[in-house]
Amino acid sequence: MRTRLFPALALSAVLAAGIASATDTSSLGSFLATCSADVKGCKGFAHDLIISARNANYGCIPKELSTDAAAERELAWLRHEANGNPKYQGMSLEDVMWAGVDELWPCSK
């Protein structure tokens, strides 16, 4: 949990700043619903998540995977795996996004 604190704070700042003002970040469902109208904003949030994760050495995102490609994978995971999954209902968008990093790029122990 502690390893997620700094990147979580960084992503929280991005969400609170409203960088993508047309993107609804109140929940995963709301976020995905606005992604078709605000593709740039959605990609920006995913892009910032990947940068935050890498800067904090969180997760094991391959170095050879570009930030843009990793953000696209994160968005695809949100749409196809997390959306509608009861495991993620009731979680904040930020927590679901971090769960995506954990699911997509787990670190071997």
The residue extents of the domains of the chain are 2-104
Please give the pLDDT value at position 8: 53
- Whether 50 has a pLDDT exceeding 70, the answer reads yes
- pLDDT confidence bin for 7, thresholds 50/70/90: low
Q: Tokens in use for 86?
A: 């009861």
* Mean pLDDT of the region 9-26: 57
Contacts for 94-99: CB closer than 8 Å, 24+ residues apart: 94/8, 94/11, 94/12, 94/15, 96/28, 97/11, 97/45, 97/46, 97/49, 98/4, 98/7, 98/8, 98/11, 98/49, 98/58
Decide: pTM greater than 0.85. no
Please give the pLDDT value at position 26: 87
